[in-house]
Structure 1
Amino acid sequence: MENVNRAKSDNKMLVFIFLALSYLVSSFHRVSLSVLSVPISQELGIGMDTIGTLGSILFFIYAIIQIPCGYLCDRIGPKKIILFSLIVTTIGSLSFGLSNSVHSLLLSRVLLSIGISTTYIPAITFVRLLFRSEEAGGLTGILLAFGTIGTIVASKPLQLLVDNFSWRVSFYIFAIIPFILFLFIVFSVGDIRIKASSSSLKDGERTKGLGLDRALVSLIIIFTICTGAVQSFQGLWFIPYFVDGYNFAFTTTSNLLLVFSTGYFLGTPIIGRLCDKFDVRKLLPIVSLINVVLWITLGLKIAHANIIFLGILLFSIGFFSAGLISIGFYYVGKFTKIDRRALITSILSFSGYIFTSFLLKFIGGIVSLSRGMDNLNSFFIFYAIIILICAFIFSYRKE
């Protein structure tokens, strides 16, 4: 059993709200560069290759910090980690808003990346330690929903803020918010940590290796490239793709990004609920096939001429991509060995973010060399083909 110090936990629901707001800030910064890339590029005169580097740095740092962050949460408690996260996010956001050169942007982005990459794990650790196990599942879903709200704020609302003020003001605002959260947690949250734990598994029952099989490996590949494709598209290349590639108005494109983010927001809980109702091993190939059709449709530019059709397509891509990611986490929680679930979950998270980092930089280089966005369409189709192959491997059963 876990012995936990639950000091000052009478206000735990209020604590949860502030933790959820912290994750909202983290998610906002993960994808805000998509809207901000154009005004930043225009004001400072930097190219898309540099913008790609700014995006890539964040996801690379986010990926490599996940496992050590979890280790430190167990060792020194989540309070110290979340406080570190919030104060570094404050400094990084303020510094980015004040930047006037590529070097200062890069340094600020590194600080910001370190800050937001140490938010989710201590937040979910707080949930696990403060609340009963029968409450933790629902609250975890709410926490993730707050993260998706952060991505929605980083679409149309952010564009309105940029239009009426400037891109710098958005960073000043999102420096103030984590600082307020920092102060609240300093004075309102006790030091909560795991004092000791014992495994329910005997030594002879422990799994040797990761317990990987064909289905799990193919699922990890699907999860990795789906996460990378969605986060790189939503987090950076969405606005440039439509504005620079197809001369869409900035306002129209930010509206489309809001539609995409709304689909993503709804896809996570709805597909997650379907996982409870149906066999996830049959659900994954179906959702994968839907994703294949949707991304190929986008890559072939079939919907670009009709804004309503395009909006429906982007909503659907967001919805079913989020669903595919939800299925990945659900499958690991249900079908992997109990003493390997956390490790395999961390592998999923790491692989998704590291691939996102690679794609942001890789696509930025391609766009700069080709001076156009048409190559993104080829990537969408290639991505769909890989998903199709992996889904077939996952669902194939030997007689």
Structure 2
Amino acid sequence: MNKPILAQSKAVSIFLIFALGYFISTLLRAINATISPELVSEFDLSAAELGLLGGGYFLGFATVQIPLGYLLDSKGPRKIVSYFLSITIVGLILFAYAQNFIMLLVSRILIGIGVGACLMGPLTAYRVWYLDETQQRANSWMLMVGAIGMLSSSLPVQYFIPTIGWRGVFIFLTVLTLICIILIILFIPKWQTEEKLNKIKYAELKNVWQNSFFRSLVPVGFFNYGGLFAIQTLWAGPWMTRVSGYTAEESAKGLFLIYFCLLFSFLLWGYFVPKFSKNIKDAVKLLRWGAPLNLIVLLLIIYLGSSAGASYWALFAVSSIFLSLTQPAVGMAFSTSNAGKALTSFNLLLFVGAFFIQWIIGIIIDFGINLGMNEIYSFRLSMSFVFLTSLFSYFYFLKKSNSFNY
């Protein structure tokens, strides 16, 4: 396919439209942390059910990662992103009118499937329509938009709950998603040459999963990165209300602080990291030294218990930013022809990990309570699981990475 570089005005409009879709995606990823008190109260959810419900988004998201690359290459972002967002609308409507846990879970999975193309779709478009030097800037800005989406899932959502309720919030998001689909159809260019959809070549995927560098990062992606997603998009909220004693409004303010710090750290990260990390060797070196920082913070949170509030979780989120080195490192470890497959495989790993850990945290909390522990100790027990699995995953990476030749 030829590379038709677009005029600047057209490139800006394309970015803004796709940014709206990714904003919706990350807002929906994190919104359960804010509305969890309402969901628990209305549906009498256990911690395990709350974790499974939050993880439903990641499960749906993960299921489409492998075929997504093939669909985008053959049909283009305009069709695929708009088709997928139509599934999101179905999920949003079902969630807004849900009457039981099963309906909530099914709709949450549909939402995850529907927003599954909201980042990979734009990145595919930028690769074809933007100049090479513009792509990195656009990719960084998309990550910032994602942080703004999570930021908007906290205080802004909490502000509207007393007036329109959590169901009204989802109706509003349905309308916003519909507007995004219309904008995509009207303003995103057609894919120049739609190709016949290629079958997924499992032999190529097998080569990715057998790569020694990729395999060294499998536990880190699943437990460390998955644990980060599980905490920042759900369990930080219940920790603040049920361990630290925050009100729902105070918890929303705490989440706002966490996501604001994350946004600011992305800004600094995007500026400084290219100066220090120019190749895979640099990325691995930074990961070796930086990955343990969030584990130190998490251990402190576990030790402090009810005294660890929003500022500690904000510090945890910021110190976790070194984990973002894993994705570009995976991309650099493979040839151009296999980089996309490696990245979608790694995304699959992250989101399956987030689903599993978000659910298992809830199961451990319920287990602790059933054993007679109070809620605070049960939460600390669940976070101890995240700490230990992440610690052993980091040691595994250290051991394997020492043998690499770059």
Pick which of 354-363 and 154-163 moved more. 154-163
SS in 2 for 1:13: helix
| Residues 227 and 361 of structure 1: CA distance in aligned 2, closer, same or farther (over 3 Å) | same
- Match of residue 257 from structure 2: 259
Contact 2:5–2:131 under 8 Å retained in 1: no
- TM-superposition CA deviations, 1:189-242 (whole Å, max 9, x none): 33124567xxxxxxxxx9993496655433342233222111111222122122
- Match of residue 15 from structure 1: 14
The within-5 A match list for 1:378-389 is: 378-389=384-395
| CA distance, structure 2, for counterparts of residue 109 and residue 381 of structure 1 | 27
1:68, CA displacement in angstroms? Answer: 0.7
| Letter matched to residue 294 of structure 1 | V
Q: 2:337 aligns with which of 331, 336, 339?
A: 339
Contact 1:73–1:122 under 8 Å retained in 2: yes
- Match of residue 313 from structure 2: 314
**How many residue pairs were aligned?**
385
Unpaired runs of 5+ in structure 2? 196-203, 277-281, 370-374
| Letter matched to residue 305 of structure 1 | S
- Match of residue 199 from structure 1: none
| Letter matched to residue 300 of structure 1 | Y
| CA distance, structure 1, for counterparts of residue 14 and residue 336 of structure 2 | 29
SS in 2 for 1:271: helix
- Match of residue 233 from structure 1: 231
Aligned-residue RMSD, C-alpha: 2.9
| CA distance, structure 1, for counterparts of residue 284 and residue 60 of structure 2 | 32
SS in 2 for 1:166: helix
- Match of residue 142 from structure 2: 143
Runs of 4+ in structure 1 deviating by more than 6 angstroms, as ranges, are: 5-9
| Letter matched to residue 81 of structure 1 | I
| CA distance, structure 2, for counterparts of residue 176 and residue 358 of structure 1 | 31
1:152, CA displacement in angstroms? Answer: 0.9
- Match of residue 366 from structure 1: 364
| Residues 63 and 290 of structure 1: CA distance in aligned 2, closer, same or farther (over 3 Å) | same
1:135, CA displacement in angstroms? Answer: 0.9
Q: 1:294 aligns with which of 297, 316, 320?
A: 297
Taking structure 2 as the reference length, the TM-score comes to: 0.85
Pick which of 278-287 and 9-18 moved more. 9-18
SS in 1 for 2:137: helix
Taking structure 1 as the reference length, the TM-score comes to: 0.87
| CA distance, structure 1, for counterparts of residue 221 and residue 43 of structure 2 | 36
Pick which of 40-49 and 348-357 moved more. 40-49
- Match of residue 170 from structure 1: 169
- Match of residue 372 from structure 2: none
1:398, CA displacement in angstroms? Answer: 9.0
- Match of residue 377 from structure 1: 383
- TM-superposition CA deviations, 1:40-97 (whole Å, max 9, x none): 1212333333222222222112112012111111111211111112222223212211
Identity %: 21
1:274, CA displacement in angstroms? Answer: 4.0
1:349, CA displacement in angstroms? Answer: 0.6
- Match of residue 281 from structure 1: 284
- Match of residue 219 from structure 1: 217
| CA distance, structure 1, for counterparts of residue 397 and residue 268 of structure 2 | 21
- Match of residue 78 from structure 1: 77
Pick which of 144-153 and 274-283 moved more. 274-283
- Match of residue 153 from structure 1: 152
| Residues 391 and 301 of structure 1: CA distance in aligned 2, closer, same or farther (over 3 Å) | farther
| Letter matched to residue 92 of structure 1 | G
The within-5 A match list for 1:64-213 is: 64-193=63-192, 209-210=207-208
Pick which of 4-13 and 40-49 moved more. 4-13
SS in 2 for 1:209: helix
Pick which of 243-252 and 25-34 moved more. 243-252
- TM-superposition CA deviations, 1:335-359 (whole Å, max 9, x none): 4333332222122111000111111
| Letter matched to residue 98 of structure 1 | Y
| Letter matched to residue 248 of structure 2 | F
Q: 1:390 aligns with which of 357, 377, 396?
A: 396
Contact 1:23–1:119 under 8 Å retained in 2: yes
Unpaired runs of 5+ in structure 1? 197-205
| Letter matched to residue 307 of structure 2 | A
- TM-superposition CA deviations, 1:229-263 (whole Å, max 9, x none): 11111222122122123422222222222222223
